[in-house]
Structure 1
Amino acid sequence: MLTRAQVDPFVRVVGGVLRIRYLADPDGRVTPFLDRLLRLVRRLEGRSLETVVEALRRQERRVRDASRLAGISRALIEWCDFDAPDGAQQLEAARREVFMTRGAIWPPIPGDALLPFASAAASLGVTADSLQRTLYDDRPGARRLRRVPDGDGRALLARYNLELARGVLRDATRVELQTRGGWRDVFRAVKAAGLMHELVREGARYRLVLTGPAAAFLVRPARYGVRFARVLPVLARSPGWRVNAEVLRDGQPCRVQLRGRARALATGAPVGVEPRRERYDSAWERRFVRDFRASSWAKEHGWHLSRERSPLSSGGTVFLPDFTLRHSDGREAAVELVGFWTPEYLTAKVAKVRAAGDTPLVLVVAKALAVGDGGNAMHDVGGERILWCGQHPRVGDVMRLVERVAQSPPR
C-alpha cells in the first residue's frame, strides 16, 4: 500500500468531498514510460530488492514529479514476487556460530578475517568467503526478484490508480460498496479483514455497508481504514463496482466516491484487471451450466443464468448462491448446488433455507455426493425449495421448482 507521502500530494477536499487526482495519459506519453519501467525491472530478475528500488529511484531524472514516481515504483514492486535467497533461513544460526567463533579466538590477528566463517561455512556447504558476503542476506532488502507480472504499461497505470484509491481508504470510518458480480470473493475478503457488514437491498441491487467490530467505541474511528483498503483489490476484479466512503481528513469528515469497470481504459479512475474466466467449484456445476444453456429454458422460455451475480439476505443470514436465474419479465431466483455433504452440514443448510421464509432460493442436493451414510440418514429431509437428485440435477426439475419460487425484486 502507498504511504501517506505518496498519496497526499494528489488529494484535495472541496466542499466536503475528497477528490483524487489520478494519473491519466491524455497525450500518450505516460504509458510508454511505464512500459520502460517494466522492461527495466524485468532485466533485474534475480537481483535484490535493494537493487530494484535503487534502479527505479534513478529514473527521477526522467520525470517532473518525484512523488508520482515513488508511488508508481512502490505499486510496481508490490506487484512483483520477491523471495528470500537460498539458505537465508539458516543465516541466523550461522551468524551465531560466527560470532562465538570470533570471540573464542580474540584478539584477531592479520590474515584471519575468514577464520571465524570456516566452520559455519562448512556446515552450510559454502565457502567462507561466500558466507562472509551473504551473512545478512535474510534482511528484507536482500530478497531476490523472482517474477515480474506479464502486464504492460496500461496495467501498471491502472494498478497505481487503484493504489491511490486504497491509500485514501486508509482514513475511512465507514464504507459502502456495490458490485455487479463477484460477491463471493468480496465476502471472503470482508471476512478475512475482520470487518462487520450489513447487506441492504435496493431494488434489484445490493449495497454492502462495512464497519469495524468496535468502530462506535474507538477514539480513532479510522483505525479500520487499512482493513477497508484490503477489500478494494478484490472488489476491483468485478465487472463494475462503486464505493462510497466517509473519510477523516485532517480531523475533518468528508466523503469520497470510487468506481471502476474491469474493461475500462486506464485513464482517470481506478480500474480493475480484466475479469477472469468463469470459475466453477466443481465439474458438477460446469455440467449444469452447459445443460442449461443447451435447454429450451434458455432458448425459448426467457430464462437467463448468471454465475454468482447477487447475494440474498433474509433474517440476518446472507446467502451466496452459485447461480442467479432471471426471467425476461423480471422474476428471479437463486440456485445453490450442494456438493459433498454430511448430515450435520446439510441439516444446518436446510435450517437456514427454511428460516429465510419466502426468499427465492432453490437448494439442489445430490444423494450421490453424501459423505459416508449421509444419504440414508437424510432421506426424509425435504421442502418446497429443496430438490433431491441423483448423480446430476436435471435442468427441467430445477427449472420447474424455480418457476414456483421465483419472485420479482422489490422496487
Structure 2
Amino acid sequence: MALDGPYLALAADLIECFRQHQGKSQGELNRHLQELEGENTDYRIQRGLAHILRSSFAHFDIVSPLEPSQLRQRVFTLAATTVPNPTQAQHHLAILAQQLSQELEREVTPADIRQGLYADLQENRILVECEAPTAAALLHRYNLSQVQGIFYKASQVVLNLHRNDPGEYKLMFRYLKLFRLMAYIEGDADHGFTITIDGPTSLFKPSTRYGLDMAKVLPALLHVSRWSLMATLQLRDRYSGNLRQHHYTLKSDCGLVSHYPPGKPYDSLLEQSFAKRWPAQSEWRLEREVDLIPIPGSVMIPDFRLVHQDGREFLLEIVGYWRPDYLRKKFAQVRQAGQVPLILAVSERLNLDKAGVRLQDIPVPIVWFKEKLQPKAVLQVLQGICDRTNSP
C-alpha cells in the first residue's frame, strides 16, 4: 500500500477513533468503526488497519468492582430472596452497592455493578490504554503484515545475507535463536550467510504457532542492510483443490519498515543480572559483543567474552532454556565448536537426561547454577583453568 494522501487520511481517522474511545467499551468502538466503514469499497484495508490498532496498540481490560462471575453470584443471590419485581431491582443494587463499598473500602455505585455484571464479555471490555502510532507507522505495519502472511504457507525460506556489518549478523542470529526456528546456516562473516529455514508446511502437522514465529523473522531481517530471500509456498489451487508449489522473492530494497527495536543489550534477565553483578575490579573484563563461531550447519553466538589483563580470552555461553530439542542442539554445537576456549554455564533445573545429553561428552568446563549465575563461580572456573595451564 502506498503512503499517499487517502490512505494516510484513513489511518489518521482510525487512530483518532481509537483515541476518542479510550475509557469506552470495545462494543462501542466496533460500532463506531462500522459506521466509519459505511459503503467504503476499501473495507478490507480499513478492517486490517483497525485490527492492527486493536491487537498491537490498544489494551482492553475488565472493569468491575469484583470478578464478574462473583458479582453475578452476589446479585442473583440477593435477587432470589424476594419475588421478582422490576421496581425492586434498583433497591437490590443499592443494597449490594453499600455492602461492596464497606467490603472493598471504596465507593461502589449501582452503575458500577451494572457495568461490571457482564464486563468479562469481549464487547464489554474497556479500552484503558491506546499507544497509537503515527499514520505513516500504521501503514508501514500494515504493509509488513501483508507480506508476513505469505510465510504461513511456506515449506522453506532461504535467506541470503550478503556482506554486511558483523553486528547485523549477530542481531539476526539472535532473533533466530529467540524464535527457535529450524534453520541451517552456511557461510561466514566475510562473505555473507545463507540461512535455510523450514516453514510450517514442512512439518508433519502444520503448526499455527510455528507459522507465527516464522512470520516474525521478516521484521528482524529488515535490520540487515543487504539481503534477499526466496520462499517456497504450498498453495491450494482454487479450481482443482490440489496443492501447487510457488515461489516468492523479496530483496532489501522492498521498502518495508521494521517495528522491531535494533537490538537489546541482553537476551534475558539472567544475562542482564549476571553482567550487572560482574566485579568492576576483576582481572577479567566482561564483554557483551563476541565473535560468531562457525559450526557445520549453524552459527554459535556465545553470550559473553571474558578477557584477562594479559590478553587471554574465554567465551561464556549460558544454557538456561529447558526444551529438550534446544538442549540437544546446544550441546551438539558445543561439541562441534572444536578448540574454541569456551565455558558453559548450565542451570541445575534442566532435565539433561530427558534431552539425552551426556555430560561426559562435553569437552568444555561447566559452571552449574540454580536461579542466578554468580560471577564468583565463573571466576573460580577461570582460575582453575589458568592454574592447570601454568602448572608444569
TM class by smaller structure: 0.5 to 0.7
Structure 1 residues 84 and 355 mapped into 2: Cα distance closer, same or farther (>3 Å)? same
Moved more, 37-46 or 158-167: 37-46
- What is the TM-score when the length of structure 1 is the normalising length? 0.60
Structure 1 residues 178 and 46 mapped into 2: Cα distance closer, same or farther (>3 Å)? farther
8 Å Cα contact 1:244/1:256 also seen in 2: yes
Alpha-carbon separation, structure 2, partners of 1:214 and 1:167: 13
2:300 alignment partner in structure 1: 319
- Is the counterpart of residue 187 in structure 1 residue 176 in structure 2? yes
8 Å Cα contact 1:169/1:229 also seen in 2: yes
Alpha-carbon separation, structure 1, partners of 2:127 and 2:246: 40
Q: 1:148 deviation in Å?
A: 3.2
2:2 alignment partner in structure 1: 24
SS state at 2:212 partner: helix
Structure 1 residues 145 and 189 mapped into 2: Cα distance closer, same or farther (>3 Å)? farther
Task: Choose from 108, 126, 134 the match for 1:144.
Answer: 126
Q: 1:320 deviation in Å?
A: 1.7
Unpaired segments ≥5 residues, structure 2: 102-107, 162-167, 237-242, 267-271, 281-286, 306-312, 321-329, 346-372
Alpha-carbon separation, structure 1, partners of 2:289 and 2:66: 44
Structure 1 residues 49 and 55 mapped into 2: Cα distance closer, same or farther (>3 Å)? same
* CA deviation map 1:276-303 (0-9, x unaligned): 4773655799x9xxxxxxxxxxxxxxxx
Structure 1 residues 314 and 112 mapped into 2: Cα distance closer, same or farther (>3 Å)? same
Within 5 Å, give how 1:53-132 maps onto structure 2. Answer: 53-61=30-38, 63-87=40-64, 90-105=67-82, 107-115=83-91, 117=93, 120-125=96-101, 126-132=108-114
Q: 1:41 deviation in Å?
A: 2.2
Alpha-carbon separation, structure 1, partners of 2:32 and 2:376: 59
8 Å Cα contact 2:64/2:113 also seen in 1: no
Within 5 Å, give how 1:10-409 maps onto structure 2. Answer: 23-25=1-3, 27-61=4-38, 63-87=40-64, 90-105=67-82, 107-115=83-91, 117=93, 120-125=96-101, 126-149=108-131, 151-178=133-160, 180-181=168-169, 182-191=171-180, 195-201=181-187, 204-211=191-198, 215-218=202-205, 224-236=210-222, 239=225, 242-250=228-236, 251-260=243-252, 269-273=255-259, 276=262, 279=265, 282=275, 311-315=292-296, 318-321=299-302, 338=316, 355-357=336-338, 371-372=375-376, 374-381=378-385
SS state at 2:117 partner: coil
Q: 1:160 deviation in Å?
A: 0.2
8 Å Cα contact 2:23/2:126 also seen in 1: yes
Task: Give me the identity figure in percent.
Answer: 23
Q: 1:94 deviation in Å?
A: 1.1
Which one-letter code corresponds to 2:176 in the other structure?
Answer: F
Aligned pairs, number = 313
* CA deviation map 1:193-221 (0-9, x unaligned): xx433223377222333336994533x58
SS state at 1:248 partner: strand
8 Å Cα contact 1:341/1:370 also seen in 2: no
SS state at 2:89 partner: coil
2:104 alignment partner in structure 1: none
Q: 1:353 deviation in Å?
A: 6.0
- What is the TM-score when the length of structure 2 is the normalising length? 0.62
Structure with the bigger RCO (C-alpha within 8 Å, sep 6+) is 1
Alpha-carbon separation, structure 2, partners of 1:89 and 1:239: 52
Alpha-carbon separation, structure 1, partners of 2:316 and 2:256: 36
Moved more, 176-185 or 39-48: 176-185
SS state at 1:108 partner: coil
Alpha-carbon separation, structure 2, partners of 1:351 and 1:114: 69
Alpha-carbon separation, structure 2, partners of 1:376 and 1:75: 51
Alpha-carbon separation, structure 2, partners of 1:201 and 1:86: 54
SS state at 2:157 partner: strand
* CA deviation map 1:296-318 (0-9, x unaligned): xxxxxxxxx9967x854415664
